[in-house]
Chain A
Amino acid sequence: MTELTPLWSLLLLLTCAVLLALPFYPAWSEWRRPRDQQTWPLPPQLLQDPEAATHTSVRLAPGAQFERLQAGHIVLGTGTVPASASVVPGEALHRWQPPPGARPWGVRGWHIGHALDIAQAEHVPHSLVVRGPLQVHGPAWIEGDIKTRDQLRLGPGCRVQGNLFSDGDIRLGPGCRVSGLVMAEGRLQLAPGVVIGSPQQPVSVCADVIEAEGPVLIHGSVHARIRGEVLTPAPVSPTSSPKDTPT
């Protein structure tokens, strides 16, 4: 210990005190003479009226790209969407039985902790939450909502009365009809003849990427977060079934 030690200690103490106190100068000045104290404004979409479902029609030709669309009648692709290609409630269908290990979920749903396949001509009078991929071999009739953690594939002619949600991709096969909204965190592929929503109940369709193989009919709004595209149709094979081909 030298004679200078107390001096150095004092200097260190002073330096530390100044460094500690320094940020309080602008803090004090902002407190006493505020420059930025206004209340944070609410997001504008909360203050506006919701976009009304219009009676207008929008038709996008093959090759068109889109991000947001809104109309009572949105046709993606050329041709006319068939009036009813999907399964009609009341047709001879087997009542679906939940697999072993499924848990009751919500009001009238089932929670399945693994991948699930639903066979053709099944009637599912429930909502389903599937923690894996789900494949429905159409035609089939699902009365409730569906949520999957992975890919969701609906085969040709499926009819869903609820909403569809997937943390991954969704593919709707030819002639599928969905009454509720459709939301995929990944890619949404729409085959020819898909109809989503109705004039009485417009709904939203959203996904990161939306690919429509037209003609696809949507009543309501479409939101492709990254990219939306109407694909150019592949040449029609002479052996295609009537359900696969728009009329």
Chain B
Amino acid sequence: MLALLGPVSSLAQASSSALPTNTGTLWLSGLLALLMVFMLLYGIRQIVFAWQRMAGPERYPYAGVSQAPWPQITVFVAAHNEEAVIAQNLQALLRSNYPAERMHIVVVNDRSQDRTGAIVDEWVQRYPQRIEAFHRRQGKAGKAAALQDAMGRARGDIVLIFDADYTPAPGLLRALVVPFLDPEVGAVMGRVVPRNSATNLLTRLLELERSAGYQVDQQARMNLRGAPQYGGTVGGVRLSALRSVGGWNDDMLAEDTDITIRLLVAGWKTVYNNQAACHEEVPQEWPVRLRQVQRWARGHHQVMLRQGLALLSSRHVSWRERMDGLMLLGIFLNQPLMLLGWLLVLTLYYERGLDTLTHWMPAALLGLHSLVGGFAVFMHTAFAVLLDGHRQRLRLLPFQALGFLASLPVMTGALVSAVRDQFGQRELVWAKTRRYAQQVNP
């Protein structure tokens, strides 16, 4: 590759002697070089993660724990207009093999305007000892605000959280609770698997994405002793840890990333369990999907702006965790920065800055990024799907580029919104992800 690019570089260098250079183009070239390095780092990260998973052992030290002094837990079900799915969620939770006398279910019915409240009340009447309803009729919007208000209902120190569209298998609660027996663990995350993956092209692509995100990304971070992420559902937090870092931030869009980083900064561990899987419903329409991604990206940026410095300077974090945590926070910057990179290249071209471009950002860097960054994301997904044992569906991989292109403007918008959130005092508007499931009666 370098050999191929050699003549290009020499040609550009030859032409550079003939063209004038100005300070502006030098700065722009320098900025472009920085962007390339930034994106190159993410490409390398994805390759390291992918190969670690493909060739390295899976680390989950709590495997083999089947009997334990099971602690009292509270399962919170976050519900906002969930009439279609809430019943099957409660049904699944009641089938859990976690000792019933040590498990309390609290449905956080957050300002629902449909029949969610009535359905939950029916279930409470049937199982008054096991289910409690927390009807929240006012207060700030958002899951974090609702959870913050409901935390007073918790029994015990371990809190598991599910969104209402999840249907946990009987053994899932035990699998999620085991790491909490370790007093250093502040949060636990399980794996999320799409239930409606066969619906259309989007859901199939989302299944590939989820596979990459959990099978490779989360597990590699666990294996490499980095900073696995608590994802807000199919997981839980230790209440005393949560309180020690100030509870849920009710003005955060990504309360899960926020709590992951705040726990990390304080020295608590987050554990990922690849076997603790749960089915979820993924968006079936592109606008719904793009709104979801926009919320995630904006939330990540919010956390980066608020917690980035604390993570950088924390005394309780190892260098691996620090680096992993920072890269986690910056992951949604890739798309806007790529757009910026394209803009810079065009500007430099029309500003006759290609001469400085060759000085500051040799073609080798560009080539390396194309080679590493361009392929890393596909390799990442391909390895995850292979690990999951689904060879055929890999053929869909080229369509991933469509998702990437569709999310470019959305993620750029999310960055702008997050900066405005940080410096203005705007109230957050919670965009709920649409549900598609048919209603199940108790």
Does A192 make an interface contact (CB < 8 A)?
no
Contact of A40 among B64, B174, B207, B240 (CB under 8 A): B207
Q: Which B residue sits closest to A107, measured CB to CB?
A: B240
Does B138 make an interface contact (CB < 8 A)?
no
Contact of B64 among A31, A38, A180, A225 (CB under 8 A): A225
- Most-contacted residue by chain A among B157, B194, B279, B393 (CB, 10 A): B393
Also in contact, A46 and B397, with CB within 8 A (given A30-B392, A183-B61): no
Q: Which A residue sits closest to B205, measured CB to CB?
A: A31
Contact stretch, chosen from B27-35, B165-173, B407-415: B165-173
B175 neighbours in A (Cβ, 8 Å): 45-46
> Does A106 lie within 8 Å of B183, measured CB to CB?
yes
> Does B183 lie within 8 Å of A105, measured CB to CB?
yes
Does A91 make an interface contact (CB < 8 A)?
no
Also in contact, A106 and B182, with CB within 8 A (given A39-B198, A111-B267): no
Does B5 make an interface contact (CB < 8 A)?
no
Size of the chain B interface, CB-CB below 8 angstroms: 52
Contact of B67 among A31, A43, A145, A204 (CB under 8 A): A204
Interface residues of A in 27-46 (CB under 8 A from B): 27, 29-31, 34-40, 42-43, 45-46
Interface residues of A in 94-148 (CB under 8 A from B): 103-107, 109, 111, 113, 127-129, 144-147
Category for how many chain A residues contact B: 35 or more
Query: 1/0 per position for B254-279, CB-CB distance to A under 8 A?
Result: 00000000000001000000011111
> Does A220 lie within 8 Å of B67, measured CB to CB?
yes
> Does A147 lie within 8 Å of B182, measured CB to CB?
yes
A103 neighbours in B (Cβ, 8 Å): 267
- Most-contacted residue by chain A among B68, B184, B276 (CB, 10 A): B184
Also in contact, A37 and B197, with CB within 8 A (given A203-B67, A206-B64, A220-B67): yes
Q: Which B residue sits closest to A219, measured CB to CB?
A: B67
A36 neighbours in B (Cβ, 8 Å): 390-393
Please report the C-alpha to C-alpha distance between residue A40 and residue B169 in the assembled complex, in whole angstroms.
14
Does B63 make an interface contact (CB < 8 A)?
yes
Does B201 make an interface contact (CB < 8 A)?
yes
Also in contact, A223 and B391, with CB within 8 A (given A39-B193, A47-B170, A165-B182): no
> Does B67 lie within 8 Å of A163, measured CB to CB?
no
Please report the C-alpha to C-alpha distance between residue A106 and residue B183 in the assembled complex, in whole angstroms.
8
Also in contact, A179 and B66, with CB within 8 A (given A27-B397, A47-B169, A145-B181): no
Q: Report how many A-B pairs have Cβ atoms within 8 Å.
A: 156
> Does A183 lie within 8 Å of B395, measured CB to CB?
no
**Nearest CB of chain A from residue B391's CB, rounded to whole Å:** 7
Contact of B65 among A46, A105, A181 (CB under 8 A): A181
Also in contact, A42 and B183, with CB within 8 A (given A49-B170, A204-B64): no
Please report the C-alpha to C-alpha distance between residue A109 and residue B384 in the assembled complex, in whole angstroms.
39
Q: Which B residue sits closest to A30, measured CB to CB?
A: B395
Also in contact, A37 and B65, with CB within 8 A (given A106-B240, A106-B241): no
- Most-contacted residue by chain A among B69, B277, B390 (CB, 10 A): B69
Q: Which B residue sits closest to A179, measured CB to CB?
A: B69
Which B residues contact A (CB, under 8 angstroms)?
Answer: 61-69, 97, 157, 169-172, 174-175, 181-184, 193-198, 201, 204, 207, 211, 238, 240-241, 244, 267, 275-279, 316, 388, 390-393, 395-399
Task: For the complex of A and B, list the 5 residue pairs with the smallest distance between their C-beta atoms, beginning with the closest.
Answer: A223-B64, A36-B392, A206-B64, A46-B169, A46-B171
30 residue pairs bridging A and B, Cβ less than 8 Å apart: A27-B398, A30-B396, A31-B396, A37-B198, A37-B204, A39-B195, A42-B169, A42-B193, A42-B279, A43-B277, A45-B175, A46-B275, A46-B277, A47-B170, A49-B97, A50-B171, A51-B67, A53-B67, A106-B244, A109-B183, A127-B183, A163-B68, A165-B183, A180-B68, A181-B69, A183-B64, A203-B69, A204-B65, A221-B66, A225-B64
